[in-house]
A and B are shown apart, each in its own frame.
Chain A
């Protein structure tokens, strides 16, 4: 074993301002046994996806005519893109509501969000029965403009392929600047000011479009009408789906930051985490207030306390959101990493419950058969998640994603490859001052 002497365990005691910029992980092995396991899972999922492409859906999955949407749509898309809404939630807070502190964790949110969307779209691509007809998406005269499904099938790929990709572009350019040759640097110096110029305009689209499709995901379920239990079926579902996405976006970003920073022994930052926890708690309260008002307005309060399985499910869901909402108002909880981790995990689960239940558990068609995902279906669903996780681990190792102390990074990047690097391999720092690129000199 070539394990490095890990940094002293200062978790919890050093919550001072430690996050100044994105810093790549450049110590330790990349290819850990756990990552190999994840790669195996992802490969298995992708092999099955290939088989699925040449096989009909029926024998491959547990879906049937009553439950026409299986776990790929209800979990990988409906539920996990809520977790991937970090770029929307944090970006809106940072750029629209001027929470400047959050800029430093934007990259973590962006990379995770991009991967959730990309794997969700991959899942969708293998879920639809006639993907070869999807070219209609670029023929506007074929669009049925009143369909929520149309909105999603156009906006989601657009968001992922254009807006999120643009927002993570600086990661690649930055790496190229520090590891590339002079010619590359010259080109980058040329285009850097342009990127800075168009950036504020592009991010307007990057927030409007997810606002549209995250609410449309709830809008999809309106047409299902009485098939969905009245505790969930409601005209405000689009709004609640959007708020749940923002809630999950904040909660998952906190969760991910804590997990990864603890894994790579990074110091935490009380200022940023406090800000995030504050916002998360606020969003939780907004969600619960709208949920309660909606249940009262639709006169469904009696069903909440009916104590049947659906009402218990609702209580669990509400509890999972209410506990962090209250707990995160207490400064001591916010400043204790362990409590913050637990509370953000609960909020994540609560938001995911709200997004998942109406599509599956509370989805009760009259001629109900049963649905449980088949083994290949589940392996594929897990495979997509594993694929995203592998990509995230590689991203934080090879790019400046995770927040850290600016002084801890001497602008070295881990070189690409699977070799073991027991020492930091320093690439020569370019003679041009780093700030020059960004200033567009």
Chain B
């Protein structure tokens, strides 16, 4: 099949091809930093929590402290209206102490659950209008006036932390925000670390806490599971760090890769959608083809209408 082009069309095609080639060859402005690196590096001011499961006594002092600081009602569904008894993180519980107990051996451990404040959070990457965002010190906060309630954050979060107020007409996303508005801004540490009587969960700069955790591992080799800190590399790194003597996946910390989910999800699309170049290029290519076929169609249409008397329909 040969394509018949007149001079003008040939020029157009050449212009299009040339433009594409030039834009591919032109040196790209070197970017200061990739938006979603596979292994993000924590900024020096990033804060963190370090939770040591071997120190926690399961007193749950952090839970009412959290409820009080965040103005959350007690979850009294199971206790018959008497006291706070959540079965997991939910729309009334931003922080919880869970007990893992092996039914066969006497192995047991407590684990504290709350938002992990990832270095590259999947929820922030997915949030369409930036309701969830990385605020000062790397804290992941939620802004009610931007949220449309699409619940993509719940689908995206690998730790299943964000919870939705299913029973509210004006539903909010409930998750630990590191007491950002309530305490951090006033220069106080979060309610849970302040309330912990045994220093099982402590607050500090991420770099310091990571060093401290590694120090504890070095002091007592073989005490901690796999001799590593959970959260150092998980899902690209988190700002809540865990030490445990029991396997992490047993106490409910999922086995995750070290690549950030944001990197996995946007590494191709960020190239295609950079300055909308992909869609614009596609529109150009389709436009040329459609224009060509349209002109041909118009000629055939007039002939057809003359012959049959029936109009062409779009």
- Residue numbers of A with Cβ under 8 A of B are 20-22, 54-59, 63-66, 68-69, 95-98, 100, 103, 107, 128-131, 133-134, 136-137, 142-151, 153, 167, 170, 174, 195-196, 199-201, 203-205, 207-208, 211-212, 216, 219-220, 222-227, 235, 238, 365-367, 400, 406, 433-435, 437-439
- Beyond A149-B150, A238-B268: 11 further Cβ-contacts under 8 Å? A21-B310, A65-B164, A100-B297, A130-B148, A149-B128, A200-B294, A211-B279, A216-B269, A225-B158, A366-B254, A439-B311
Q: Contacting A95 at CB < 8 Å: which of B36, B150, B290?
A: B290
Q: Are B148 and A133 in contact (CB under 8 A)?
A: yes
Q: Are B148 and A153 in contact (CB under 8 A)?
A: yes
B72 to chain A, nearest CB (A): 16
A149–B151 alpha-carbon span in the complex (Å): 10
Give residues of chain B (277-295) contacting chain A, Cβ–Cβ below 8 Å: 279, 282-283, 286-287, 289-291, 293-294
Report A-chain residues with C-beta under 8 Å of the C-beta of B313: 21-22, 103, 107, 170, 174, 400, 438
State whether the Cβ of B302 lies closer than 8 Å to any Cβ in chain A.
yes
Report A-chain residues with C-beta under 8 Å of the C-beta of B67: none
Residue on A with the closest CB to B270? A146
Report A-chain residues with C-beta under 8 Å of the C-beta of B148: 128-131, 133-134, 136, 153
* Top 5 A-B pairs, shortest CB-CB distance: A129-B149, A58-B166, A130-B149, A68-B154, A222-B265
A214 to chain B, nearest CB (A): 13
Q: Contacting B166 at CB < 8 Å: which of A57, A200, A365?
A: A57
Q: Are A435 and B310 in contact (CB under 8 A)?
A: yes
Report A-chain residues with C-beta under 8 Å of the C-beta of B269: 146, 148, 216, 219, 238
Interface centre among A136, A149, A170, A227 (most CB of B within 10 A): A149
Report B-chain residues with C-beta under 8 Å of the C-beta of A59: 166-167
Residue on B with the closest CB to A155? B279
Report A-chain residues with C-beta under 8 Å of the C-beta of B261: 222-223, 225
State whether the Cβ of B73 lies closer than 8 Å to any Cβ in chain A.
no
CB-CB contacts of B129-160 with A at 8 A, as 1s and 0s? Answer: 11000000000000001111111101110101
State whether the Cβ of B42 lies closer than 8 Å to any Cβ in chain A.
no
Q: Can you sample 8 A-B contacts with CB below 8 Å?
A: A22-B313, A56-B166, A68-B164, A200-B287, A366-B252, A367-B88, A435-B311, A439-B302
Report A-chain residues with C-beta under 8 Å of the C-beta of B18: none
Q: Are A56 and B168 in contact (CB under 8 A)?
A: yes
Q: Are A129 and B151 in contact (CB under 8 A)?
A: yes
Residue on B with the closest CB to A209? B279
Report B-chain residues with C-beta under 8 Å of the C-beta of A98: 293, 296
Report B-chain residues with C-beta under 8 Å of the C-beta of A174: 313
B41 to chain A, nearest CB (A): 19
Q: Are A150 and B170 in contact (CB under 8 A)?
A: no
Q: Contacting B314 at CB < 8 Å: which of A195, A224, A406?
A: A195
Residue on B with the closest CB to A219? B269
State whether the Cβ of B312 lies closer than 8 Å to any Cβ in chain A.
yes
A130–B129 alpha-carbon span in the complex (Å): 12
Report A-chain residues with C-beta under 8 Å of the C-beta of B309: 433-435
B252 to chain A, nearest CB (A): 7
Q: Are B270 and A131 in contact (CB under 8 A)?
A: no
Q: Are A406 and B149 in contact (CB under 8 A)?
A: no
State whether the Cβ of B54 lies closer than 8 Å to any Cβ in chain A.
no
A96-B286, A226-B256 are known contacts. Are A68 and B170 too (CB-CB below 8 A)?
no
State whether the Cβ of B273 lies closer than 8 Å to any Cβ in chain A.
yes
Q: Are B289 and A149 in contact (CB under 8 A)?
A: no
State whether the Cβ of B37 lies closer than 8 Å to any Cβ in chain A.
no
